[in-house]
Structure 1
Amino acid sequence: MQPLASLLLLAALNVHPASAALKEYTLDVVNAPIAPDGFNRIGILANGTFPGPLLTANKGDTVKVTFNNKLTDESMRVSTSIDFEGVLKDTASVFDEGSPFVTQCPFGPNTSYTYTLPLGEQSGSAWYHSQLSLQYADGLRGVFIIYDPDDPLKHLYDVDDESTIWSLADWWHNTSTVSLMSYNLTQIIPLQDSGLFNGVGRFVGGPEIPFAVQTVTKGTRYRFRLINISVRRQVFVSIDNHTMTVIEVDGTPTQPLEVNILSVMPGARFSVVVTANQAVDNYWINAIPMDPGNPNKNPVFDPDLSRGVLHYAGAPDAEPTTPMTEGPQGADANLLQEHELRPFFPTPPPEPDFILNFTTSMPVGETVWLFNGSQYESPKVPTLIKILDGASNAVDFNKTENTFIFPRNKTVEINFLPDPENELHPFTLHGNRFWVIKSNESDIINTVNPPIRDVAAKGNGGTILRFTTDKPGPWFFHCHIFWHFWAGLGAVMVSDPEGIRQQVKPTEAWDELCPAYNALPAVEQ
């Protein structure tokens, strides 16, 4: 049986071509004023910007990112820990995976930490964000693109650069700490104040700041990379009068699939090819956040104000004159169906060695999410430290750690049972990708060549995922709606504890994280 990482030639191979380079970035995490929709507030920002600075590399490179924690505003969290979403970690560097209390402790104010990311042969669209509590809602999130100079789909597009990256985000005027207090009291997630396209949006009654503009030249083909860096919102993306051809999902090249609207869940990424083949004019890019029906509507939030402008060179520098819509509807909509995606390189999933049936639930009147009847609670001692100290079996972990342990080189099937909830739960598996054997929106079961992703929706349709335990490590598996994650909707998938002890040799800087964090006063954690 070949593991998924081998089939995809991903990071676990740790193969570095002759052109491999070391790329180093330094980001200061600061409290600074920010007004992406015209409302001024203090945020938690990388280098003072939202989204944070773009990180880029080529496959085969090693990337080092140093975060200097300069946070001072104790009305928000001032410690932090960074996850590189969609970056596949090898076992040797799993201690730099960034999951607080799973692979490391957070680092406090006036300290720094450097993450080392050997990329191997992986490529595609990824991003980075704070993984601590709900901190990234305050702005600590940005995009990370790994280019493949030998992309097998390169003949389909002419332009793929910094100008063709589209970030999708939700935004709140209150801090995450205030929002969490409200959520804890009411069990209702506060509705966002605006939706942002490439860091810009509007709210009802706010200033009409210019929408983000994407300039194109007629006749040119563009690879647009859509990265949903939202905390909660699924976003429906379309471009008036244009179609989109999907060629990548969550870092995996796909067989081209043409659609005119697609749903992007929090944490998910797509690459689409768009040909500028319409009349020279301005067209709306619709980036509409889905509202699942929150009973406490936010009067300043209007999803139709979440959009950008596709501007043809030579057209007037003006907004489109056509109505702001939510994109193609009814018979005109060719919505991407996840189950129709096919990896560009066929990768049949192995038969499962383990089958896990999972449910999610929220007890009435409690701000608690249960994963198979158990709320995940972060342990005081990170999972990785426990394993390095000898933990190998379920009895070595508290029940609330929701820790599942598997031998190496096995295949695990996760069967999310259908339930009547209104809201989709976008589940992600850190450091790995999985086969989507059954999508939530379809009854089709595909064990021949199913989609390969690292984010997939669990909802009332039932979802089946498979992944291989070819990389020893503790890997976070959680809902990417961070309100639900904060309330306990998560688990840890541990592959080969003995292999972890043999291969993982943390640095001295990592060893110092937990003692330093535990010595902080509560207000600085």
Structure 2
Amino acid sequence: MPRQVPIMQLFLASTALLALLRPHPVEGAVIKRQTGNVNDVTLDIVNAQLAPDGFTRSTIVANGTYPGPLIKAKKGDTLRVTLNNKLSDPTMRRSTSLDFDGVFFNTDNSFDEGTPFVTTCPLGPNTSFTYTVPLEEQTGTFWYHSQLSVQYVDGLRGPLIIYDPEDPQADLYDVDDESTIIQVGDWWHNSTLPLLEGYEATGIVPVSDSGTVNGAGRFNGGPAVPFSVVNVEAGKRYRFRIINQSARNVFTLSFDQHNLTIIEADGIAVQPLAVSQLEILAGQRYSVVLEANQPVDNYWLNAPYVGGSPDRNLNQNATLSRGILRYAGAPEADPTAPMTLGPDTGVLVEANLRPLVADPPPEPDVNITLNLVVTDGKAIWNVNNVSYLPPQTPTLIKILNGATNASDFNVTENTFVLPANATVQIDFPPNDDDEAHPFHLHGSNFWVTKSNSSDVVNTVNPIKRDVVGVGAAGTTLRFRTDNPGPWFFHCHIFWHMQAGLATVMASGLDEIRDEVHPSAEWEALCPAYNALPADEQ
């Protein structure tokens, strides 16, 4: 569906129920362990009146909570996720589609991958669809969210953790469970349709009202919503899995009087790296180890953010974005230390990260340069002078029907046709933009041979991840096309993605036709979606 949307009346909630002023506990997804290591998960996508920062509004969420319920599995499992679309609020999108960020669908079931108009069509209201998600050898910290337009701004986001029973770094921590997941996100009082309408009219990216930590936040002039609490015991070491579920904001995390040791980035184990402050872009994830070695007390978990000028939204106050690290035995009270932006030393430099096991990238077989440009005064982004528009017929269907080269796709699909089992190098030249674009690749991860955080080119032991910052210093990455499919490659600032900052990396088209065997359920999605009236799409 084109990024233009029909004009909808602005929906604003006017009351705040006291029960909604407290952080809402996240209930577990319905998971039933079956033989053959298949986890059955049920997510009901519903409209719910919630107030994460004290302002009540209608939301789009999984199982009634923001963030959504934890989906957890272990290495080698297969997730079978049934999505029941129960959306009914006409002030927001009523169709939906789910993306499992960072999880690699293999060729045989790439049709289940969940990217609207690339691998599938959205799921209409009052219908269901089951995604089959083979996890294979992947482990680490992931998340799920709506991939339709900017819908996850309305709340549809949640954690997905794949535990490794034989984690080679298990001796570095004592606790790693639901209590050690930290989710940060930008929060918006207005729903996405009027926000998107304003963006398209002015070219100004919307600015969030607040930031949330595990579903709780505050804004200027709003109620004193209790801060989210992370509980620890003195003497223990905790693996905190940090997920930035924002549609725009960059968060910088720190804990007063505690250092952090990074051991994972986007599902890839890294050599331990000590920092005191962790900058994390939209879509990125890190695991850090915190040792509870300070006197028993309450300490601030600082999570200030940036994302557009706060002058454009006077609700913003970055110092209110925080939580509490509470030692067992400490009083149930806010820390007595002042609210600050956290330490200003020991900041993570991405280029300093190294993989736990060195995996040098092969020399490239294909070289692509991607130039990112925004049209002055308009909300249109271009990649190599093309602004991505989703096609009516998904890319995968075109491939299955015989598309073989770039000319078989619309120019506005910005599709790069790549050979199977090749190494592709992507160069993002330095640009003048004042914010790093977090580019995310579906279907595989990539080596970051030149990080935006450094001028150093590293082809010996660069990290691999699936979201990387692209900005003023330039970025170079490489990836293998050993998982054939049409894979979306886009900015994870979803406002930018919706405005055209995206491409499709389509690799191994012949292999796709040989190996992909769509289900009847998948084949029914597009006819059903295309038959919907516009207000239900």
* Smaller-chain TM-score bracket: over 0.9
Q: Give the secondary-structure state (helix, strand or coil) at the position aligned to 2:223.
A: coil
In the other structure, the counterpart of 1:3 is none
Q: For the residues of structure 2 that align with 1:60 and 1:284, how far apart are their CA atoms?
A: 37
In the other structure, the counterpart of 2:468 is 456
In the other structure, the counterpart of 2:138 is 122
Q: Give the secondary-structure state (helix, strand or coil) at the position aligned to 1:230.
A: coil
**AA at the equivalent of 1:109:** P
In the other structure, the counterpart of 2:213 is 197
Q: Is the 8 A contact 2:284 2:467 kept in 1?
A: yes
**AA at the equivalent of 1:108:** G
Q: Does 1:394 align with 2:406?
A: yes
Deviation at 1:297, TM superposition (A): 2.4
Name segments (4+ residues, structure 1) moved above 6 Å. none
Q: Deviations over 1:417-436 (max 9, x none)?
A: 10111111000001210000
Which of 425, 428, 440 is 2:437 aligned to? 425
In the other structure, the counterpart of 1:358 is 370
Q: Give the secondary-structure state (helix, strand or coil) at the position aligned to 1:442.
A: coil
Pairs aligned (count): 504
Q: Is the 8 A contact 1:125 1:145 kept in 2?
A: yes
Q: Is the 8 A contact 1:292 1:423 kept in 2?
A: no
**AA at the equivalent of 1:460:** A
Q: For the residues of structure 2 that align with 1:291 and 1:169, how far apart are their CA atoms?
A: 11
Q: Does 1:146 align with 2:162?
A: yes
In the other structure, the counterpart of 1:11 is none
Q: Does 1:312 align with 2:324?
A: no
Q: For the residues of structure 2 that align with 1:20 and 1:346, how far apart are their CA atoms?
A: 32
Q: Deviations over 1:375-420 (max 9, x none)?
A: 0000000000000000010110011000001111110000001011
Deviation at 1:190, TM superposition (A): 1.8
Deviation at 1:52, TM superposition (A): 0.6
Q: Is the 8 A contact 2:207 2:308 kept in 1?
A: no
Which of 47, 57, 66 is 2:82 aligned to? 66
Deviation at 1:20, TM superposition (A): 5.5
Q: Give the secondary-structure state (helix, strand or coil) at the position aligned to 2:162.
A: strand
In the other structure, the counterpart of 1:6 is none
In the other structure, the counterpart of 1:8 is none
In the other structure, the counterpart of 1:434 is 446
Q: For the residues of structure 2 that align with 1:458 and 1:292, how far apart are their CA atoms?
A: 17
Q: For the residues of structure 2 that align with 1:400 and 1:163, how far apart are their CA atoms?
A: 44
In the other structure, the counterpart of 1:300 is 315
Q: Give the secondary-structure state (helix, strand or coil) at the position aligned to 1:103.
A: coil
Q: For the residues of structure 2 that align with 1:256 and 1:403, how far apart are their CA atoms?
A: 38
Q: For the residues of structure 2 that align with 1:362 and 1:406, how far apart are their CA atoms?
A: 26
Deviation at 1:19, TM superposition (A): 9.0
In the other structure, the counterpart of 1:177 is 193
Which of 385, 389, 397 is 1:385 aligned to? 397
Q: Is the 8 A contact 2:208 2:307 kept in 1?
A: no
Q: For the residues of structure 2 that align with 1:430 and 1:47, how far apart are their CA atoms?
A: 25
Q: Give the secondary-structure state (helix, strand or coil) at the position aligned to 1:386.
A: helix
Q: Give the secondary-structure state (helix, strand or coil) at the position aligned to 1:381.
A: coil
Q: Does 1:106 align with 2:122?
A: yes
Q: For the residues of structure 2 that align with 1:445 and 1:358, how far apart are their CA atoms?
A: 18
Q: Give the secondary-structure state (helix, strand or coil) at the position aligned to 1:52.
A: coil
Q: For the residues of structure 1 that align with 2:119 and 2:152, how far apart are their CA atoms?
A: 18
Deviation at 1:93, TM superposition (A): 1.1
Q: Does 1:521 align with 2:521?
A: no
Q: Give the secondary-structure state (helix, strand or coil) at the position aligned to 1:125.
A: strand
In the other structure, the counterpart of 1:242 is 258
Q: For the residues of structure 2 that align with 1:325 and 1:171, how far apart are their CA atoms?
A: 21
Q: Is the 8 A contact 2:207 2:309 kept in 1?
A: no
**AA at the equivalent of 2:359:** T
Q: For the residues of structure 1 that align with 2:286 and 2:503, how far apart are their CA atoms?
A: 26
Q: For the residues of structure 2 that align with 1:135 and 1:85, how far apart are their CA atoms?
A: 15
Which of 80, 85, 89 is 2:105 aligned to? 89
Normalised by the length of structure 1, the TM-score is: 0.95
**AA at the equivalent of 1:441:** S
Q: Is the 8 A contact 1:292 1:422 kept in 2?
A: no
Deviation at 1:299, TM superposition (A): 1.0
Which of 449, 457, 473 is 1:445 aligned to? 457
1:256-335 equivalence runs, <5 A: 256-293=272-309, 296-329=311-344, 333-335=345-347
Which of 165, 177, 190 is 1:161 aligned to? 177
Which of 35, 40, 56 is 1:40 aligned to? 56
Q: For the residues of structure 2 that align with 1:287 and 1:88, how far apart are their CA atoms?
A: 29
In the other structure, the counterpart of 1:511 is 523
Q: Give the secondary-structure state (helix, strand or coil) at the position aligned to 2:216.
A: coil
Deviation at 1:345, TM superposition (A): 1.3
Q: For the residues of structure 2 that align with 1:38 and 1:202, how far apart are their CA atoms?
A: 7
Q: For the residues of structure 2 that align with 1:297 and 1:334, how far apart are their CA atoms?
A: 31
In the other structure, the counterpart of 2:383 is 371
**AA at the equivalent of 1:520:** L
Runs of 5+ unmatched residues, structure 2:
1-33
**AA at the equivalent of 2:336:** T
Q: Deviations over 1:342-399 (max 9, x none)?
A: 1111100000011111111111121100011100000000000000000010110011
**AA at the equivalent of 2:454:** S
In the other structure, the counterpart of 1:479 is 491
In the other structure, the counterpart of 2:29 is none
Q: Give the secondary-structure state (helix, strand or coil) at the position aligned to 1:53.
A: coil
Which of 54, 59, 76 is 2:70 aligned to? 54
Q: Deviations over 1:135-156 (max 9, x none)?
A: 0000011100000010000000
Q: Give the secondary-structure state (helix, strand or coil) at the position aligned to 2:417.
A: strand
Deviation at 1:291, TM superposition (A): 3.8
Which of 23, 33, 40 is 2:39 aligned to? 23
Q: For the residues of structure 2 that align with 1:220 and 1:340, how far apart are their CA atoms?
A: 27
Q: Is the 8 A contact 1:194 1:203 kept in 2?
A: yes
Q: Is the 8 A contact 1:20 1:60 kept in 2?
A: no
RMSD: 1.1
Q: For the residues of structure 1 that align with 2:307 and 2:343, how far apart are their CA atoms?
A: 17
Percent identity over the alignment is 57
Q: For the residues of structure 2 that align with 1:92 and 1:341, how far apart are their CA atoms?
A: 33
Q: Is the 8 A contact 1:203 1:300 kept in 2?
A: yes
Q: Give the secondary-structure state (helix, strand or coil) at the position aligned to 1:501.
A: helix
Q: For the residues of structure 1 that align with 2:80 and 2:446, how far apart are their CA atoms?
A: 26
**AA at the equivalent of 1:301:** Q
Q: For the residues of structure 1 that align with 2:156 and 2:130, how far apart are their CA atoms?
A: 16
Q: For the residues of structure 2 that align with 1:363 and 1:290, how far apart are their CA atoms?
A: 23
Q: For the residues of structure 2 that align with 1:292 and 1:209, how far apart are their CA atoms?
A: 24
Which of 490, 502, 506 is 2:514 aligned to? 502
Deviation at 1:86, TM superposition (A): 1.1
Which of 415, 437, 450 is 2:427 aligned to? 415
Q: For the residues of structure 1 that align with 2:53 and 2:402, how far apart are their CA atoms?
A: 50
Q: For the residues of structure 2 that align with 1:431 and 1:307, how far apart are their CA atoms?
A: 33
Q: Give the secondary-structure state (helix, strand or coil) at the position aligned to 1:163.
A: helix
